[in-house]
Structure 1
Amino acid sequence: MTTADRSSAAPPVRTHAETRTWVGKSIRRVEDPKFLRGRGGYIADLVTPGMLHAAVLRSPHPHARIVSIDTSAAAALDGVHAVITGAQAAELTDPLPDFGPDPANHVWRCLAVDKVRYVGEGVAVAVADSRYLAEDALALIDVEYEPLPAVVDPEAALLDGSPLVHESLGTNCAYERTFDFGDVERDFAEADVIVRDRLRWHRSGGQPLETVGAIADFDHSTGELTVHTNSLSFTSYLFMAAATLKIPANKLDVRQVPAGGSFGSKLFVTKPLVIAGMCSRAVGQPVVFLEDRVDNMSNCDHHGSDRVYEVELAMMRDGTMRGIRIDTIDDYGAYIQFGVGHHGNALAQVVGPYTIGSVRYRVRAALTNKNQQGAYRGFGSEVNNWMLEQMVDKAARELGIDPVEIRRRNFIREFPHFIPTGNVYDSGDYDAVLAKALELSGYDHWRAEQAKAREQGRHIGIGLITAQERSVFSATEFWFWFDEPGAPVTSMPESVTLKVDATGGITATLYSCAFWGNSPETMVAQLVAEEFDCDPHDVAVVYQGSKNGLPATGPGGSRTTVMLAGAVEGATAKIKAKALRAAAHLLEANPHDMEWVDGGFQVKGVPEQRKSLAEIAVMLHLFKHSFPDDMESGLEDSKVYDHPYTTMPSADRKDLGVFYPFVGHACHVPVVEVDVETGAVRILSYVAVHDCGTLVNPRSLAGHIVGGTAQGIGTAFYEEFVYDEDGQLLSSSYLDYLIPSAMEVPELTIGHVETPSPYTPHGIKGGGEGGRMMAPAALNAAVNDALAPLGVRLTELPMTPERILSALRAAR
């Protein structure tokens, strides 16, 4: 497909209002009162006296056959209502939803059946009057294991003769493919310099304040199962969860509660939902299963990326980039529930903000005896940003070009821009973002301070990275990996119902997660207020469970603001169309002579001839016979909003189509000082400038950037799920898994540049993952800049003091 062909497939370019009343304002969150009063309604808040509690027995072995399980003593304990083993669970439930390759030979269940594949995998569940009793029962279960050799290193896992995680697969390579986009061979043959590197990103994960949980209540009289869960998404996979539970989808009602923190780790809460539902059906009473912290860290199914990179960047001596070859092995752990979707996120922005003409991307998914990967803020694209910015900095150093200048020479400047993979960057002004970041950071000042510090024997470093933040995924990224995908789905909608009551009050009903950090009530209230000229705090926002819900996908990939904006816009248009007709009838005017002004319809040029929305609503609710026979009572409508811009992959997969089209951009400039005696790193200054299109609530977006950057600091310096060579998880609590505190997170200076998207309502782009997408790369660059005079370059995250000191010793 040519660029012209691609452009012709784009949706019409939108025009955006130059002035807005509420979109773009920093308002206080409408959710705050209930959360500040402790009335948020988390899973733990919903536990009531009389509910039974479930606890899961977890494997102490990374790889072992289950020889036998004796549950008799546990079942006999007073107050225990049921003990269910993995074999019994396999009779009560089917395998869990799995989007990975070859699910027939890669069966993932709520409890292990024949063997365990990582430390922490569940083998039995006890249901008792209290969590304490349930855990006491677990201690009485006698499990005989036959230990098997474990494989922990992803590169070793791919070697012949390595222990197999799944014997039926016959290999530990769950997926392998090489994609070529553009003329890779030509670009490398013509390059003046080829920059090469090996990079290692270790696994970490989102650490939610409330762990993952579900409260299930199975009604044997109706066969219906009601589940309250803190999953981010439920309607889009509802039928799959129902199939796992062996009940009809219309008999399962999933009701959302606030996530209690997610950062992607609650994207799909399938296993806790299934365990709670299975137990409730078995005992005939409501059952709550809420992970404890060890459960969550060892068995959450949402560890982050764990990659080894071999990368080559083709450069010209003038500093311009030609092509890039990426060879990556990703350690997925024992299962691969989402396939290699993490790399779809990477391919959406694989060239960053640079005019790189060709890409070769090889990915191998390794299975090891670890808990499996899932979603963590960035979902793999943050790793790509880090890898690419490492290569750009290395190229700058090898070519003797300033790190700011090499970026300027390669920036994309014409939009929309189609990158080699086929995805589109809708808009941007990367020069403006860079210029603002340099100004806010006092970049020249810090370069001068760096020179002074070096004379004093101190090691100050300035990091500067420019990177992308893709948003609003299309379902095609889940299946374009295959020539013949099993389920080439294309729908990823979001829905809203708006109701104007008889007094003019507006209620918005959402069908997605209740709260995950994006302040959905505030965001929707602002969007509704913008459309109807009301105060956002007067808009009521409620949620509907899956049984009575409209199609929805839920958050993920920074999609929800754009998608709900489209749904609000669509529902508003329907309501206003009806209100316009009603107002024209009441005023005995031609509808074409009417206009919307200040919360009502009036006759053009005759402002005293008007009806407010409240006046129209009360007539439509209470005075049916004041209107034509074909007009219905009430003022309510819904909109199911589908993806605003996506195109299909080509049959040969040399063009993956448009699948993540709303691409933000950011420049982060941290300044650090490294203590070469201890390996400690202190952050002296941190500036982050973001372009997320039109801002909806700058205050909320600033929260995303600060929080994401804090997590990026953790990824860069502290957080790592460490498995020893035998497969034991060494960092299974916060004694060993370090998280940055307020003492380690500096005050951020945040700036914004707005380049509205031409394809979305108000020009909005997603912005929920930006801080973490940039911070690891920026901090790595800063440490490398500090240690460059010593010949040290860190290529492995996190940059712990031990790794920094090891690199210093090696350089000496």
Structure 2
Amino acid sequence: MLHDALGGNCAFERTFDFGDVDTDMAAADVVVTERMRWRRSGGQPLETVGAVADYDVSSNSMRIHTNSVSFTSYLFMVAGTLKLPANKLDMVPVPAGGSFGTKLFATKPAILAAMCSREAGRPVMYLEDRVDNMSNCDHHGSDRHYEVRLGVTRDGLFTSLDIDTVDDYGAYIQFGVGHHGNALAQVVGPYRIGSVRYRVRAVLTNKNQQGAYRGFGSEVNNWALEQIVDKAAQELGIDGAEIRRRNFIRSFPYFIPSGNVYDSGDYEAVLDKAMQIGEYDRWRKEQATARAEGRYLGIGLISAQERSVFSATEFWFFFDEPGAPVTSMPESVTLKVDATGNITATLYSCAFWGNSPETMVAQLVAEEFDCDPHDVSVVYQGTRTGLPATGPGGSRTTVMLAGAVEGASGKIKEKAVRAAAHLLEADVDDLEWRDGGFEVRGVPEQRKTLAEIAVMLHLFKHSFDDDVESGLEESKVFDHPYTTMPSPDRKDLGVFYPFMGHACHVPVVEVDIETGGVTFLSYAAIHDCGTLVNPRSLAGHIQGGTAQGIGTALHEEFVYDDSGQLLTASYLDYLIPTSVEVPELTMGHHESPSPWTPHGIKGGGEGGRMMAPAAINVAVNDALAPLGVRITELPMTPDRIRAALRAAGVTG
């Protein structure tokens, strides 16, 4: 027994009922059941977590340079641990070298370096080595056992969903059971399911603690849901694409049983595009030919959600008493137009971590002011002089920074138009923004560019009225656009992840039944992240996330022995897919703009990994279906595939 005070090692247990599950299950013609196992893996950033701390005894202040990707909103936690006033602590962002969630609230290196610096009286650097990062970091991924039931009519319509999961959290529960909050934000996937029961048991063990890893628990729910949907299709003799099509949500906004809302979508259009670019019908014919030749090809098709832009209620609504009111989870930007008309954007959360916020912010600023994105300078500010910010996580950054840029740009134009009206001796209402400046409507030769306005505001303030201040600089703190509180009885968990992305992945694999090896023959994916901001960076998200999903599905696993010793503490034993194992992706996009976000944008940062494990599992099971073999455990290593074949009497 690890925790005597708990009477065991189960730190949390709760069952949620949304709707009448028992009645809906009884009304189903078929109840499909499955036991499944998702084993733990973790993000593997190119650079581990580190910090350089420098304590100034004369001012009792501390400056810490760190590659943690979120520290602005939670500065008080680090300051409290160090017993410093928050205004005496300045945390300065440096490029993260990749994160995938693993550097979200990564505070241990910063605190250790700071404590040592104060003791030593000189700057101290603390940097994890790879073994430390893998065995004692803040962020291993989920580690779950599932029992799932799905009620289905003979026509293939879903009636009710029952999920019972046991989650191995390791030594601590850093984020409460927020992983399951993520799951409940999209628990029914893209389907009309009238009722849901969700039971979670959070278990403490002597493994490393769980934390954030790309998907943060909702990718696991996608996998479990899509496996039971695919099994239902198999038992009813309905094509996997068809059973999904029959159950798609078609009208928006749509409130799911747990209370979250989906803002927009066109799931059937995404499915059709994915089947087209993935050549679904052709591969079905190829599959039949291959089976006649004794080869085992499988086609995986899944439709899954990607929630974006969290509200912090996901971390505490499991408990009877609210941990806090609805939080704003803001993001901030300061835009400065200098005397020559050049624009600098200052961000306040963290430096480059792979999402390329510099590219995205420069692009958004350029669109607002009709300038070249390369002429926009993007810089970062430490916490001491920073504005409220939350940082990345939950596919939120593009939506939130777009709102902040839009707001700050509006403030700058509001001041600039008044200055332009004065300089042009025109009424403000007679001016319009066009091609990087303000001009008199119908008289385009009477105009002032932004640079001409800026130089006057910077150097010649006394040319204007007394209420005009020098300079052209504005900030915007952009708060979460739409979130609500849960109901007191938790029958409705509220709106906390409303901007719902969607995707359909179609991998084609061949399984070698003699070795258990899995080879990719094709991989197609269509994603809907609302209005596209930068297709190239989104493609990077999907490619990288799919590579990580391949690792989760086929290769990566933190293995512990019976005494809790980690056996895979280096890349000699912890296997990561290389370019040889990752196929070329055929990608496409569909746009269903959100009605509630700036420009209709939705997040897409966790794309790929949210879908790939489910799709690859379906593909492998489709390949092995003629042999009566079904794999329900990830990763699907060659040993596990061979063991399943032997259990079915297939000797290979």
Report TM bin, short chain. over 0.9
Question: Superposed, which structure 2 residues align to 1:225-304 within 5 Å?
Answer: 225-304=62-141
Aligned counterparts of 1:276 and 1:168: Cα–Cα separation in 2: 33
Instruction: For residues 493-529 of structure 1, give each alpha carbon's deviation from its aligned partner in whole angstroms, at most 9, with x where no partner exists.
Output: 0000000000100000000111111100000000000
Instruction: For residues 301-331 of structure 1, give each alpha carbon's deviation from its aligned partner in whole angstroms, at most 9, with x where no partner exists.
Output: 2000000001110111100001101000000
Aligned counterparts of 2:14 and 2:72: Cα–Cα separation in 1: 31
The alpha carbon displacement at 1:609 in A equals 1.1
1:695 maps to a residue whose letter is L
The alpha carbon displacement at 1:807 in A equals 0.2
The answer to whether structure 1 residue 425 and structure 2 residue 262 are counterparts is: yes
Instruction: For residues 690-743 of structure 1, give each alpha carbon's deviation from its aligned partner in whole angstroms, at most 9, with x where no partner exists.
Output: 000111110000000000000000000000000011211110000000000000
The answer to whether structure 1 residue 522 and structure 2 residue 389 are counterparts is: no
The SS at the match of 1:686 is: strand
2:379 corresponds to: 542
Aligned counterparts of 2:157 and 2:326: Cα–Cα separation in 1: 39
The alpha carbon displacement at 1:167 in A equals 3.3
2:347 corresponds to: 510
Q: Is the 8 A contact 2:43 2:213 kept in 1?
A: yes
Aligned counterparts of 1:435 and 1:803: Cα–Cα separation in 2: 33
The alpha carbon displacement at 1:183 in A equals 2.0
Instruction: For residues 408-460 of structure 1, give each alpha carbon's deviation from its aligned partner in whole angstroms, at most 9, with x where no partner exists.
Output: 00000101111111111111111111111111011111111111111111000
The alpha carbon displacement at 1:489 in A equals 5.1
1:501 corresponds to: 338
1:525 maps to a residue whose letter is A
The answer to whether structure 1 residue 462 and structure 2 residue 296 are counterparts is: no
Aligned counterparts of 2:555 and 2:309: Cα–Cα separation in 1: 30
Q: Is the 8 A contact 1:263 1:376 kept in 2?
A: yes
1:698 maps to a residue whose letter is P
Question: Superposed, which structure 2 residues align to 1:161-200 within 5 Å?
Answer: 163-164=1-2, 166-200=3-37
Question: Superposed, which structure 2 residues align to 1:374-523 within 5 Å?
Answer: 374-488=211-325, 490-523=327-360
The answer to whether structure 1 residue 724 and structure 2 residue 564 are counterparts is: no
Aligned counterparts of 1:520 and 1:243: Cα–Cα separation in 2: 30
1:503 maps to a residue whose letter is T
Question: Superposed, which structure 2 residues align to 1:37-48 within 5 Å?
Answer: none
| Of 409, 416, 420, the match for 1:579 | 416
| Of 200, 207, 217, the match for 2:44 | 207
2:437 corresponds to: 600
1:759 corresponds to: 596
The SS at the match of 2:42 is: coil
Instruction: For residues 733-757 of structure 1, give each alpha carbon's deviation from its aligned partner in whole angstroms, at most 9, with x where no partner exists.
Output: 0000000000000110001011111
* CA separation of 1:809 and 1:770: change in aligned 2, threshold 3 A: same
Aligned counterparts of 2:80 and 2:326: Cα–Cα separation in 1: 18
| Of 480, 486, 492, the match for 1:643 | 480
Q: Is the 8 A contact 1:479 1:488 kept in 2?
A: no
Q: Is the 8 A contact 2:106 2:138 kept in 1?
A: no
Aligned counterparts of 1:572 and 1:733: Cα–Cα separation in 2: 48
Q: Is the 8 A contact 1:176 1:363 kept in 2?
A: yes
Aligned residues: 649
Aligned counterparts of 2:314 and 2:241: Cα–Cα separation in 1: 33
Aligned counterparts of 1:350 and 1:200: Cα–Cα separation in 2: 18
1:664 corresponds to: 501
| Of 630, 633, 637, the match for 1:793 | 630
The SS at the match of 2:609 is: helix
Aligned counterparts of 2:415 and 2:144: Cα–Cα separation in 1: 55
Q: Is the 8 A contact 1:353 1:468 kept in 2?
A: yes
The alpha carbon displacement at 1:246 in A equals 1.0
Aligned counterparts of 2:374 and 2:144: Cα–Cα separation in 1: 45
Deviation beyond 6 Å, 4+ runs, structure 1: none
Aligned counterparts of 1:205 and 1:354: Cα–Cα separation in 2: 29
Q: Is the 8 A contact 2:141 2:211 kept in 1?
A: yes
| Of 127, 145, 148, the match for 1:311 | 148
1:239 maps to a residue whose letter is F
The alpha carbon displacement at 1:480 in A equals 1.1
The answer to whether structure 1 residue 778 and structure 2 residue 615 are counterparts is: yes
| Of 511, 522, 527, the match for 1:685 | 522
The alpha carbon displacement at 1:606 in A equals 1.0
1:696 corresponds to: 533
The alpha carbon displacement at 1:169 in A equals 3.6
Question: Superposed, which structure 2 residues align to 1:327-406 within 5 Å?
Answer: 327-406=164-243
Aligned counterparts of 1:191 and 1:635: Cα–Cα separation in 2: 64
| Of 543, 546, 549, the match for 1:712 | 549
The alpha carbon displacement at 1:391 in A equals 0.4
2:58 maps to a residue whose letter is S
Aligned counterparts of 1:496 and 1:357: Cα–Cα separation in 2: 42
The alpha carbon displacement at 1:171 in A equals 2.8
The SS at the match of 1:387 is: helix
2:141 maps to a residue whose letter is G
The alpha carbon displacement at 1:674 in A equals 0.3
Question: Superposed, which structure 2 residues align to 1:745-756 within 5 Å?
Answer: 745-756=582-593
Instruction: For residues 582-621 of structure 1, give each alpha carbon's deviation from its aligned partner in whole angstroms, at most 9, with x where no partner exists.
Output: 1011111111111111111111111111111001000000
1:269 maps to a residue whose letter is A
| Of 371, 388, 400, the match for 1:551 | 388
Q: Is the 8 A contact 2:170 2:204 kept in 1?
A: yes
Structure 2 residue runs without a partner (length 5+): none
Q: Is the 8 A contact 1:309 1:329 kept in 2?
A: yes
The SS at the match of 1:546 is: coil
Provide the TM-score with structure 2 as the length reference: 0.99
The SS at the match of 2:384 is: helix
Aligned counterparts of 1:478 and 1:210: Cα–Cα separation in 2: 28
1:522 maps to a residue whose letter is T
Identity of paired residues, percent? 80
Aligned counterparts of 1:348 and 1:276: Cα–Cα separation in 2: 37
Instruction: For residues 383-403 of structure 1, give each alpha carbon's deviation from its aligned partner in whole angstroms, at most 9, with x where no partner exists.
Output: 000000000000001111110
The alpha carbon displacement at 1:486 in A equals 3.5
The alpha carbon displacement at 1:366 in A equals 0.3
2:162 corresponds to: 325
Aligned counterparts of 2:432 and 2:8: Cα–Cα separation in 1: 67
Aligned counterparts of 2:506 and 2:230: Cα–Cα separation in 1: 14
Instruction: For residues 43-88 of structure 1, give each alpha carbon's deviation from its aligned partner in whole angstroms, at most 9, with x where no partner exists.
Output: xxxxxxxxxxxxxxxxxxxxxxxxxxxxxxxxxxxxxxxxxxxxxx
The SS at the match of 2:182 is: helix
Structure 1 residue runs without a partner (length 5+): 1-162
Aligned counterparts of 1:489 and 1:451: Cα–Cα separation in 2: 54
CA RMSD for the aligned pairs? 0.8
| Of 491, 504, 508, the match for 1:654 | 491
The answer to whether structure 1 residue 803 and structure 2 residue 640 are counterparts is: yes
Q: Is the 8 A contact 1:229 1:269 kept in 2?
A: no
The SS at the match of 2:611 is: helix
The alpha carbon displacement at 1:175 in A equals 1.1
Provide the TM-score with structure 1 as the length reference: 0.79
| Of 556, 562, 571, the match for 1:734 | 571
